[in-house]
Amino acid sequence: MKSLARLGAFAIALAFTSLSQAADKITLLTENYPPFNMSIDDKNFARESGIDGVSTDIVREMMKRGNIKYSMTLRSPWNRIYEMTQKKDNYGLFSTTYTEERKPLFKWVGPLVGNDWVVFKKPGSAIKITSLDDLKKYKVGGYKGDATAEFLKSKGIDVIETALDKHNAEKLAVGRIDLWASSRFAAPYVAEAAGVEIPSAIYTFNSVDFYLALNLNTSDSIVSHLQSALDSMKKDGTFDSMVKNYL
């Protein structure tokens, strides 16, 4: 009877451990936003080794050093995975722009890498922009749910939003929008993938940092382990080496 009791206790303990480990596994979501995170075949769905980019490499190394189990999926649209991360325990999202408005919505690990918000025009266009107010005279395209578009809208600028950023590159190329608000680093990649001419950067209106955003119910221990892992990468040179591979 005692052996059966011990066996039962062991089974319960094993089950509890398995549940705890499962609960601590982080489900990472990302999107096609090169060169920060992207599918290797330019599609809008990928898993695990089918995803690369500077932020992806950094996050993978953080998970490895923090000894944290995870899965990684790239999908779209951004709005969907942004909302999913807020609702589901142990979900994480990158590359996510850190803003004061978003601060209370997630637990944050970073910064992963810096990014400039830039206004682009079609090559050959005579448009000149010297202030945000100048944008009010033009049709400005933006990526729905992206912090870039949200920032411009908060400044009273009408933004024509699309579910995929590559549509902005296409619309700019054929004149359906006059300007495109995007990332200095991402826009050239997006335009090339869309098969259109790389646009001209004409006005930088903000500089921000990308982070890994984690669901608010993620344990503080995991957040701490990941931040420590990132800090160690910056100290030993691994971080700089990864950034130089892409930027």
Q: Is the pLDDT of residue 10 over 60?
A: no
- Shared domain for 86 and 123, answered yes or no, is no
**Residue 106: strand, helix, or coil:** coil
> Helices 220-236 and 54-65 sit at what angle, rounded to 10 degrees?
110
> Does residue 230 sit within a domain?
yes
**Residue 155: strand, helix, or coil:** coil
**Total structural domains within the chain:** 2
> Does residue 100 sit within a domain?
yes
> Does residue 217 sit within a domain?
yes
- Shared domain for 50 and 92, answered yes or no, is yes
- Shared domain for 45 and 110, answered yes or no, is yes
pLDDT above 70 coverage of the chain, percent: 91
Give the number of other CB atoms < 10 A from CB of residue 228. 14
Q: What does the pLDDT look like over 39-70, one tens digit per residue? A: 999 889 999 999 999 999 999 999 999 999 99
Q: What does the pLDDT look like over 116-163, one tens digit per residue? A: 999 999 999 999 999 999 999 999 999 999 999 999 999 999 999 999
**What amino acid is encoded at 84 in this protein?**
M
Q: What does the pLDDT look like over 84-97, one tens digit per residue? A: 999 999 999 999 99
> Does residue 37 sit within a domain?
yes
Strands (E) located in 84-177: 91-97, 107-121, 140-143, 159-162
pTM: 0.85
Which residues span the domain enclosing 182? 116-207
- Shared domain for 195 and 155, answered yes or no, is yes
**Predicted pLDDT of residue 23:** 53
- How far, in Å, CA of 111 to CA of 35, rounded? 16
